[in-house]
Amino acid sequence: MPNTIEQEILKQFKVDKNRDLLVPDREFLLANITPAVKAAKKELEVHGLEFSGLANWQKAQTFPEKAKGFLVKVFQGLELGMIDELNVPYQLRVSSLRPIHKHLDKESSNSIEVKLMFMGGSTRNTNLMTIGEIAQEALGNGTKVIVMCGASLIDGGKKFTNHNAQKEINRIIADCASKNQKVFIIAANMGQRSFSIPGLGVVYLCYDRGQEGATRQKLSRVLTADTLDKVGRIVSCSFDPNRDDKIDAEIFATADHIAERKGLPWAEALKYVLSTNSNIYKFSDNGAILMDADEYIKNTIDQRRAHRQIGAMVNINKFDDQTLAEWVNADSDYSKNDPTGTTPAGETWDPNKPKAPKKPKNAKPGELTKEQKDARSKARASIITFLENFHYIKESTDTTSVKEMLNEIRNSKEDQEWLYEYYGISIGTIDRSLLSGGLNYKHLEIALNI
């Protein structure tokens, strides 16, 4: 039956398929940062010094002076091509990292390389300044390093602000272009929104995990303000690329929408999205390798990232207080996989040193208090645990559909006791969650069938 609303819209508006082609393409590149750690370690050993590993970004960004050897190798690897696994032009077999335009014109080919490196959102301004100094030292005078944060002075004068960042950076780029100097911008939070730099070709993401919304904003910087045929490149620098989940949320949300729009089974929709957009590359010592859909899906399941994303789809804001409290008290202690291919870790602070008590923070109006946020994360963790282990219910009830599985539990006191013992929740909690609409059968089906 023809959709009358479709017809109503088409009576007044026309669809132009060519508009679909205006969206700039995007490449997501997964770089393994561990060779920089190994290189730093090797160099220290040559000088008879002991290496104390810094096996995650947070540590490196909290103690940049201590991580100087590592950071120097990162900058030299990414920008000067001194480490094959981080040498982006080598990985992609391209001569430069200027923005790609399928129809290069004179102005584009004469433009300089402009890159933006985002550190973790919690990096302090003073540490960001130190990282900037390290970068300038490592990259030399051929590159102008700009630290874009509130502590950074523009040409020794006024400070950067969200308001003036775009204008000032554009001015500096124009100045550097006249000197044929590359531009390397380092930021943590500034420049996430309304920051449009036409010549920006690459965004480096140098943090572990990070908030989904902030990551989405950061990686959008490379997509805006350029030509119709631009390809934006995002390089996610990770200590363990197999566990890099920065675009998981976007991929899973897209699969969810496509499943609904096309009426596809969810797992098929996920595969469809990944195979249609084959633009995720993994760096290797022999150049970037295109990740295929099966490999990506296998990784997300092996690393338990898949269920974290399904858990994130559950809208816990729809739960009533009682249901939320029950999920908070449910079992969230799921076993984590051993990280694969990780970097040797070292102590960066004394674990026995007592931590300073944290001052209680008042939430801003309209925002959740710390306690509320903690409760929600605990509830979310329990939901993820439940979804991860949901297949056991299928096995123990010997049923095929989610509805049948839950019905069987509803009808058996013994099963209900087992459920509570195993997951720390009652069938009532599940029913109320389903009734609220925050959790729905689709989430359970996906968890079961992925």
Residues binding another protein (CB under 8 A): 3, 5-6, 8-9, 12-26, 101, 105-108, 166-168, 170-171, 174, 193-194, 196, 198, 213-214, 216-217, 220, 223-228, 247, 250-251, 253-254, 257-258, 261, 272-273, 276-277, 279, 315, 317-318, 364-368, 437
Q: Based on CB atoms, which residue is closest to another protein, 2 or 351? A: 2
Nearer to another protein by Cβ, of 148 and 405: the residue is 148
What phi and psi, each to the nearest 5 degrees, are found at residue 404? -65, -40
Q: How far lies 265's CA from each of 115, 259, 310, 313, 420, in Å?
A: 40, 6, 15, 17, 30
Q: How far is the CB of 274 from another protein (least distance, A)?
A: 9
Q: How far apart are CA 57 and CA 240, in angstroms?
A: 11
Q: How far is the CB of 135 from another protein (least distance, A)?
A: 25
CB of 17 to another protein, least distance (A): 5
CB of 24 to another protein, least distance (A): 8
* Smallest distance, another protein to C-beta of residue 311, A: 14
Give the residue with the Cβ less far from another protein, 44 or 225: 225
Distance between CA atoms of residues 397 and 409, nearest Å: 8
Q: Which of 227, 205, 196 is nearest to 104 (CA)?
A: 227
Nearer Cβ to another protein, position 42 or 171? 171
Listed residue (419, 31, 412, 15) closest to 203, CA to CA: 31
Distance CA(246)–CA(280), nearest Å, equals 12
Q: Is 126 exposed, middle or buried (CB count within 10 Å of its CB: 0-12, 13-18, 19+)?
A: exposed
Question: Which CB, 225 or 427, lies closer to another protein?
Answer: 225
Q: Which residue has the tokens 């509320």?
A: 372
**DSSP-based three-state secondary structure for 26:** strand
Residue 101 carries which side chain, given as an amino acid letter? H
Nearer to another protein, 9 or 290 (CB): 9
Q: How far is the CB of 247 from another protein (least distance, A)?
A: 8
